[in-house]
Structure 1
Amino acid sequence: MESRRDIFQAIADPTRRAIIGLLAVQAMTPNALAEHFHTSRQAVSKHIQVLAECEVVRQEQSGREIYYHFNAHKMKEVDTWLEQFRSMWDDRYKQLDNLLNNLKKGKK
């Protein structure tokens, strides 16, 4: 069975998250990205490949250089998944606020 990479695999690795952070600021070449890490250019290229497979980055040829750009739209999948937890967390925080307010009122 063929396994397809997804956005969660892309963001699971700290180096890939760092690459995403760099590309969110500006498009960069693989060599420019590699300068930010204490690993080989090949290792950074493998991370870029995973990000490209997951469509988190897209490449653009400019002359002899390839520039990688961050695809912010792809992060919507993460946001959608997290949304189910946001409402749960908001409800729990409201319950905690109510409890603390009631405790505070009881001391007066």
Structure 2
Amino acid sequence: MAKIIGLDEMSVEEVYQELFKGAKFVVFLYCFSIVILTFKRSSSIYFIKSGEVALTKGIKYTLISLFLGWWGIPWGIIYTIQSIFVNFRGGKDVTLQVMSALRQN
């Protein structure tokens, strides 16, 4: 499994305690365009602890989309708006998928 940003060598028990308090695993969306081609991507997985603000972790992906995403017509504009919307809501929650993958290992 890929490295998860924000775990900082936490034990499994500590992760479960944080999840119980409201922590979550998220990815942030971003897009970039080159002439007529537009690419939509997801960031690495971030572990957002309870009390942390996810918006600050995803700001760089929002800025990438704002400056590099909207150039492609029509998908650049669409993906840029979608990325900004998802990132301002705290990212895309992938907690269930991560926990499912961890249980399989």
Q: Same fold (TM over 0.5)?
A: no
> TM (normalized to structure 2)?
0.29
Q: Which has the higher strand share?
A: 2
> TM (normalized to structure 1)?
0.28
Greater RCO, 1 or 2 (C-alpha within 8 Å, sep 6+): 2
